[in-house]
Amino acid sequence: MTTIHRSTYWLLLVILFSTGCSKWLDVKPKTYVNESDLWKDEQGFKDALTGVYVAISDTTLYGKNFTMGMMDVLGGNYDVANSFHVYNKAGSYQYTDATTKAIINEYWNKGYNAIANLNNLLANIDSRKSLFVNNNYNIVKGEALGLRALLHFDLLRAFGGVPALGLDKKSIPYVTQFSMTVKPNLTMNEVLDACLKDLLTARDLLAVYQQVNYGIEDLFLSHTRNHMNYWAVTGLMARIYLYKNDLENAYKMAKAVIDGGRFNFIDVSSVSTTYPNRLFSPEHLFAVYSANQESINASLFKSSAGTNNVLTNKTTFINTLFEIASGGSTDYRYLYLWKTEGSSSTKYPAKYWMDDLLNGNGNSIRRVPVLRYSEMFYIAAEATASLTEKTTLLNQVRQKRGLPLLANNLTAEQLDNEIFKEYRKEFYQEGQLFFYYKRKNSAQIAGSGIAGSPAVYVLPIPDDEIEFNHG
Q: What's the rounded Cα separation, in Å, for the pair 328 and 323? A: 5
Per DSSP, what are the bridge partners of residue 284? Answer: 372
Provide the 8-state DSSP code for 162: -
Q: What's the rounded Cα separation, in Å, for the pair 403 and 395? A: 9
HSE-CB of 43 using CA atoms within 13 angstroms: 7
What is the structure's pLDDT at 26?
Answer: 37
Secondary structure string (H, E, C) spanning 180-233: CCCCCCCEHHHHHHHHHHHHHHHHHHHCCCCCCCCCCCCHHHCCHHHCCCHHHH
3-state secondary structure of 252: helix
Residue of 331, 417, 426, 333 lying closest to 381 (CA atoms): 417
Q: Residue 204: exposed, middle, or buried by beta-carbon count in 10 A (0-12, 13-18, 19+)? A: middle
Q: May I ask the CATH architecture of the domain 3-468? A: Alpha Horseshoe (1.25)
Q: What's the rounded Cα separation, in Å, for the pair 309 and 372? A: 28
What is the structure's pLDDT at 377?
Answer: 98
Torsion of CA 231, 234, 239, 244, to 10 degrees: 170
What is the structure's pLDDT at 178?
Answer: 81
Residue of 243, 262, 241, 261 lying closest to 251 (CA atoms): 241
Whether residue 392 has pLDDT greater than 90: yes
- Name the pLDDT band for 15 (thresholds 50, 70, 90): very low
pTM of the model: 0.92
Whether residue 16 has pLDDT greater than 50: no
HSE-CB of 329 using CA atoms within 13 angstroms: 4
Contacts of residue 198, Cβ cutoff 8 Å, sequence gap at least 6: 145, 146, 148, 149
Please check whether residue 427 is in contact with residue 67, taking contact to mean a CB–CB distance below 8 angstroms. Answer: no
Q: Residue 31: exposed, middle, or buried by beta-carbon count in 10 A (0-12, 13-18, 19+)? A: exposed
Sign of CA dihedral 443, 445, 450, 454: negative
Please check whether residue 431 is in contact with residue 68, taking contact to mean a CB–CB distance below 8 angstroms. Answer: yes
Q: How far is C-alpha 392 from the geometric centre of its chain's CA atoms?
A: 26
Helix, strand, coil % (nearest 5) of the chain?
50, 5, 45
- Name the pLDDT band for 466 (thresholds 50, 70, 90): low
Residue-level length of the chain: 471
Provide the 8-state DSSP code for 170: B
What is the structure's pLDDT at 363?
Answer: 57
Residue of 192, 189, 184 lying closest to 152 (CA atoms): 192
In this predicted model, what pLDDT tens digit does every residue of 76-97 receive, in sequence order? 999 999 999 999 999 999 999 9
What is the structure's pLDDT at 12?
Answer: 38
Whether residue 186 has pLDDT greater than 80: yes
Q: What's the rounded Cα separation, in Å, for the pair 197 and 238? A: 13
- Name the pLDDT band for 14 (thresholds 50, 70, 90): very low
Q: Which residue has the higher pLDDT, 19 or 242?
A: 242
On average, the pLDDT of the chain sits at 89
Whether residue 343 has pLDDT greater than 90: no
In this predicted model, what pLDDT tens digit does every residue of 130-162 receive, in sequence order? 999 999 999 999 999 999 999 999 999 999 999
HSE-CB of 458 using CA atoms within 13 angstroms: 17
Q: Other CB atoms closer than 10 Å to residue 26's CB: what's the count?
A: 17
